[in-house]
Amino acid sequence: MVTATLKLQGVLTPLYQSEIAHPSNRGRLTATFQFFLGIGAFVAAWVGYGCQQGAMGTPLQWRLPLGFQALPAVPLVLLTFLLPESPRWLAMKGRHDEALQTLARLHSRGNIHDPVVVGEYANIKAVLEEVGALDQSWGVIFRDWVNFRKVMYGVVLQFSVQMTGVSAIQYYAK
């Protein structure tokens, strides 16, 4: 359950970050997320190792790592309710005024006429119109060679990663 949640978070968090980030910081912000995932795994491994060595056979061996990882999670869960809706999601739901206001609040201190805000909003609208005109059935993957090739790259890459055994190593290292 925790692993599935982390994998889902690993997909959704950079997506949300890229949607609300200023275009000049978008890449840096999403890369920082991945960097801190690595730092978190590194710290977790050492905390687990330290608890195994120093508190073997006591409840502290599992309680300390569990409590340690819950410390940043509690404020994160509470502060999540303060985050704005994604401007792209708002536009998808037909709430265009709110999408524009959110972009303005995020990128230009509320100025809806700022060139960055206007450009981002126009980009969102153009992409949504383009996506709306596309055939979005699963059959597109198999009918179009370019799409099929892209999907197969992903399948082969994921298969290759799994066959290295890294998942088993990470699972039992904790």
DSSP 63-93: HHHHHHHHHHHHHHHHHHTTSPPPHHHHHHT
Please say whether the beta carbons of 104 and 112 come within 8 A: yes
Q: How many Cβ atoms are within 10 Å of 100's Cβ, its own excluded? A: 20
- pLDDT 10s per residue in the chain (174 long)? 444 555 555 678 888 888 888 888 888 888 888 888 888 888 888 998 999 898 888 888 889 988 888 888 888 889 989 989 999 999 999 999 999 999 999 999 989 999 999 999 999 999 999 888 777 778 888 888 888 999 999 899 888 887 887 777 777 765
Alpha-carbon distance of 9 to 22, in angstroms, equals 21
Query: Any idea where the domains of the chain sit in the sequence?
Result: 1-83, 84-134, 141-174
* Residue labelled with tokens 């840096």: 28
* Residue labelled with tokens 């609040």: 105
Closest CA to 37 of 17, 23, 60: 17
Q: Which pLDDT score is estimated for 105?
A: 93
Q: What angle do CA 47, 74, 83 make, to 5 degrees?
A: 125
Q: Which pLDDT score is estimated for 1?
A: 44
Please say whether the beta carbons of 114 and 108 come within 8 A: yes
Task: Give rounded-to-5 percent helix, strand, coil for the chain.
Answer: 80, 0, 20
Q: Which pLDDT score is estimated for 8?
A: 55
Q: What is this structure's pTM?
A: 0.66
Please say whether the beta carbons of 48 and 174 come within 8 A: yes
